[in-house]
Amino acid sequence: MAPETRTKPIQDQIDLEFEGKRVTLPVVKGSEAEAAIDIAKLRSSTGLITLDPGYGNTGSCYSGITFIDGEKGILRYRGYPIEQLAERSSFLEVAWLLIQGELPSQSQLANFQQLIVRHTMLHEDMRRFFTALPKDAHPMPVCAAAIGALATFYQRQEDEQFRHDVAVRLIAKMPTIAAWSYKHSIGQPVLYPRNDLPYASNFLRMMFGTPCEDYVVDPVVAKALDLLLILHADHEQNCSTSTVRMVGSSRANLFASISAGISALWGPLHGGANQEVIEMLEAIEAEGGNVDRFMQRAKDKNDTTRLMGFGHRVYKSYDPRAAILKRTCKEVIGRVGGSSRLLEIAIKLEEIALRDEYFVSRKLYPNVDFYSGVIYKAIGIPVNMFTVLFAIGRLPGWIAHWMELRNDPASKINRPRQIYTGPKERPYVALEARR
């Protein structure tokens, strides 16, 4: 499906000597000139491994999907700047681009959209799955479990056609699963998808409509949601995508790999941050809107408070997605009203942080989550669904990475090493001799 990306452009080399053993390691460069030492021979030649907790300095693969320059605030999918895609494309177009590697032609896009709308329904037996879970279940683990369970409905022998079919079905069914997990959590009957509606509108209707009253989708809201999905569609080797690739490296199927990715995304330091941003803004508002006091706490090393939605492992300047969302945030609130107090607090926090030595010296800028939560809130998305929307958006990126891994004949099962710090060998002590 995706084009072959694994090239090994050796540009230079580095000689290393350790305890009398020498090795020459190649330096490889990517298409944007980012360089890496290829350490594949390091251990067999010198006995050394590299140690990089958190993988901040580790390239785990060759990838041709997304390019990020965190210092310059650049994000591109398959070479196309995120700003241009955000302004001119649609989410399904971006999904095709990420998975197939090129922008679709008009007929390719029309066929893809047609395929997606034809597969939005869930097998009727899946309804029983939702009712088996507790009513107050967070929709994120419900989605992860539902995606894992879908594997039981698709058990054909895996070949390229099957992988393609499964990818289409996942993108098509994800909004239905997401909306049903929400309906289950509030005790309302689920709504079936309507295939005459575009992707984002279909989801909004299944979320907010009821069998008694249809939900008329505001085009501004649908456009904002489609934009949010585009901005979340991929972000190279982040925690959840690396999880998808890690699980996929064992040749686990796409459902299992995506389900693991959703679980990784749920964490508050990753996809869960936009929920935490809203909770933070609401807490500041409830305490009278004292932004300065909150900032003192966020900077205090004896206080665990963080300015949620600020800072990023890769971006050391303004996250380009946050810049786009800040504008959309104002448009959406101008249209639907509500949340304007939270937006005011967010803008004030940002203004202070961008001048404050603590944040400036640590290169902490707003990330995508800083404004996305305010938009979700304005369009009525409940806070516990924020991360689920992130997962809907990230799905094509996860699929593209999983496909890239599968199409790479040289890919191996991922298996990092460690530096062992436990006890040295010691003899077993009989139970009766232990105190």
Report the catalytic residues.
312, 369
Taking the C-alpha atoms of residue 107 and residue 67, their distance in angstroms, rounded to an integer, is 27
Q: Which two tokens stand for residue 79?
A: 């070479």
Q: Which of 63, 90, 237, 367 binds ligand ACO (CB under 6 A)?
A: 367
Q: Are 372 and 325 in contact (CB under 8 A)?
A: yes
- Please report, as a single letter, which amino acid is at residue 264: A
Q: What mask of x and - would describe binding to ligand ACO in positions 97 to 136, judged by CB under 6 A?
A: ----------------------------------------
Question: Least distance to ligand ACO from the beta carbon of 293, Å?
Answer: 15
Q: Which residue is nearest to ligand ACO (CB)?
A: 311
Residue 313 interacts with ligand ACO (CB under 6 A): yes or no: yes
* Stretch near ligand ACO under the rule CB under 6 A, chosen from 174-182, 343-351, 359-367, 398-406: 359-367
Taking the C-alpha atoms of residue 94 and residue 85, their distance in angstroms, rounded to an integer, is 8
By CB under 6 A, what part of segment 264-303 binds ligand ACO? 269-270, 273, 298
* E strand or H helix at 74: strand 74-77
Residue 309 interacts with ligand ACO (CB under 6 A): yes or no: yes
**Buried b or exposed e, range 25-54, using 16+ CB within 10 angstroms:** bbebeeeeeeeebebeebeebbeeeeeeee
Residue 83 or residue 218: which is nearer to ligand ACO going by CB?
83
Q: Which of 93, 226, 234, 369 binds ligand ACO (CB under 6 A)?
A: 369
What lies within 8 Å, CB to CB, of 154 at 6+ separation is 162, 165, 166, 169, 255
Q: Which two tokens stand for residue 347?
A: 């803008």
Question: Whose CA is closest to 349, among 365, 361, 373, 327?
Answer: 365
Burial of 218 (0-12, 13-18, 19+ CB in 10 A): middle
Q: Tell how far CA 259 is from the center of its chain.
A: 12
Question: Least distance to ligand ACO from the beta carbon of 130, Å?
Answer: 27
Q: Which of 29, 127, 297, 362 binds ligand ACO (CB under 6 A)?
A: 362
Residue 311 interacts with ligand ACO (CB under 6 A): yes or no: yes
Which single residue is written with the structure tokens 């990089």?
52
Q: Which of 126, 150, 308, 399 binds ligand ACO (CB under 6 A)?
A: 308
By CB under 6 A, what part of segment 184-243 binds ligand ACO? none
Question: Least distance to ligand ACO from the beta carbon of 60, Å?
Answer: 17
Question: Least distance to ligand ACO from the beta carbon of 261, Å?
Answer: 13
Residue 306 interacts with ligand ACO (CB under 6 A): yes or no: yes
Residue 129 or residue 376: which is nearer to ligand ACO going by CB?
376
User: Which residues contribute to the site for ligand ACO (CB under 6 A)?
Assistant: 269-270, 273, 298, 306-313, 362, 364, 367-369
